[in-house]
Chains A and B, each alone.
Chain A
Amino acid sequence: MSRSRTQPRRTLLTLMLAPVLCGALVAGLVSAAWLALGSPVPARAAVWMQIVKTGEARDSGAPDQPFFVLALGTGARSDNPADSPDDPGLSDAIHVIAVNPALGAATILDIPRDTEGPGGSKLNSYIVSSGSENLRAAANAVSSVVGVQLPMVIRVNFPHFQDMVDAIGGIDITIPTAMDDDFSGAHFSPGPTHLNGEQALAFSRDRHSFANGDLSRSNNQGLLILAALSTLRAKNPSAGDAVRLVALVGRHVKLDGVGISDLFHMGQLGLALDPTNIKNVTLPVGAAGGSNLAPTADAKSLLADFVDDGVLESH
């Protein structure tokens, strides 16, 4: 009698306690392991971009001096050349971005890929690997054309670019002209639109929709950089937002000579810029030898205006 009364009570108690104990045990074990191992290191994240310090900027000690950054977009599908031997990773997107903190203004100078560099090679052919030294060589080549030292290089590959745009929630942009190109996948009507990563990549690759091919493409790439900045600025108004953004990018960037603090200050400065104070200009070029292009006479005065303070006052 008594035994039969005790048995159901014990069963009930066991049923009630079992899940609690199991849950507590699992939580305890996981927590203990976590504590023992320290904070978990996130799984290796995909590297969206590479930022390399290539040299010292002109530095008078004043914090307001202009600075110049080379932004390259390469066609390589991988960061490891051995993974894609027939993909040389030509840098078909070449842009020098100048920021003048004192004036609160900036310029995006789009350099056509066929522009001739030192030794007669096209500027898009200087990157053959993802090594920092190679990026420095590319910076020197572009620097010799533009006439200003480029102390920092940012390099993004096709698939990473797509991931990056998706991660920041896409880009709001106004498409300037109709685009209809099966090669790149760009099929857009003029007007405001929102681009996801795949669409942004198509927009920046299309050269077949334009009579002047790569020149318009290069200008569109500059437009996309500007649109990305405007979108990020609208979404990240405070310094705290900039921290979140830099932490996100920081988890996907390979840095050489540049710290996360530098990235933050650069990002904060970029986000503080009024997009109406940023000019997007394509370097005027004409025929050189073969299919190479060279800066025109007009380009020389534009470059002189550009390199003095990073802002185009007379162009």
Chain B
Amino acid sequence: MEPAPSRTSRRETQQAVARRRRKIGLAIGGAVVVIAAIAVAVLALGGKGSDDRAAKTTTSDAGPGITITLEAGDVATDSAGPATSLSPAQAQAVLTTIRTYVDGGVVKPLRSGEAAGDLSGVFDAGTLARVTGADRGVMLEEGLPKVTGDITVTGKPVNFMGLGDQSGNLVLVTASVQFTVDGTIAGTKAPLHIEQHGDLVLAPDGSGVWKVTSYRMAVTRSGGGIDTTTSSTPATTKAAK
């Protein structure tokens, strides 16, 4: 028979057990808190109506003396069904299409003094027909004096709003755009200033490329004797087809 432990040793044992329990309790509690925090963070990133800020900036040199700066701003979604989200990659893809439009429809015609090239990678077929028809004077910087020297496009952050269908699939994104274009007119050396603002609506085509399916834009041009403000007529409609 073992001798009974002394009072002091019993107390030490109890204290040691209590300390261990406390440590275990704190460890479990901490783990639960951390897990909960991670889960909540994941939810916040992927839930319905997420309002994020995609801070990626597209600053690029589109050619000698040409700088286009476009930045993604706020990102939000709403859905007719389960929650939908616009991922940073999707926002970036939309921004890339907008940048291609600015480059091909605005900057290149200014630099060359000629008509814009092929924009079928930017607009869907029905919308392209309208851009190169009724709304050509709003959407494209054609027919203006050639611009030499630096061309600088500076955009405000582009805010995105995604729409989910009744199954929660992201079907389109609206992009609120506002940018200025500054350059110098060849010959007269007069400064040219252009301001474009409005909404573009983009949807993925069959191959997943985001293209503009409708728009509502306004443009103001000033400098070198050009002072005009023009707005596009109401957006095109897919429902008409």
Contacts and interface: CB of A to CB of B under 8 A. Distances in A.
Interface range for A: 35 or more
B143 interface: no
Contact of B174 (A66, A240, A253): A240
Nearest to A27: B36
A40 B82 contact: yes
Contact of B240 (A34, A65, A260, A264): A65
Interface in B66-100: 76, 78-83
Contact of B47 (A10, A28, A39, A268): A39
Contacts of A104: 233-234
Interface in A216-244: 238-240, 242-244
A253 B80 CA distance: 9
Interface in B36-75: 36, 39-40, 42-43, 46-48
B129 A63 contact: yes
Contacts of A38: 82
Contacts of B130: 63-64
Interface range for B: 35 or more
B25 interface: yes
B80 A24 contact: no
Contacts of B233: 101-102, 104
A307 B161 CA distance: 36
B168 A261 contact: no
A10 B26 CA distance: 12
B236 interface: yes
A157 to B, nearest CB: 20
A260 B39 contact: no
Given A258-B239, A260-B171, 18 more contacts: A10-B18, A17-B26, A25-B36, A27-B39, A32-B39, A34-B39, A35-B39, A39-B83, A101-B235, A101-B237, A104-B233, A240-B174, A243-B174, A246-B80, A247-B164, A260-B166, A265-B213, A269-B235
The 8 closest A-B pairs by CB, nearest first: A250-B80, A31-B39, A272-B234, A239-B199, A247-B78, A239-B174, A240-B161, A28-B36
26 contacts: A24-B29, A31-B39, A35-B42, A38-B82, A39-B168, A57-B241, A62-B129, A65-B240, A101-B234, A101-B237, A104-B233, A240-B76, A242-B174, A243-B162, A243-B163, A247-B79, A247-B80, A250-B165, A253-B80, A260-B163, A261-B172, A262-B238, A263-B239, A265-B237, A266-B237, A268-B237
Interface of B: 11, 14-15, 18, 22, 25-26, 28-29, 32-33, 35-36, 39-40, 42-43, 46-48, 76, 78-83, 126-127, 129-130, 134, 159, 161-166, 168, 171-172, 174, 176, 199-201, 203, 213-214, 216, 233-241
Interface of A: 2-3, 6, 10, 13, 17, 20-21, 24-25, 27-28, 31-32, 34-35, 38-42, 57, 59, 61-67, 99, 101-102, 104, 152, 238-240, 242-244, 246-251, 253, 255, 258-266, 268-269, 272-273
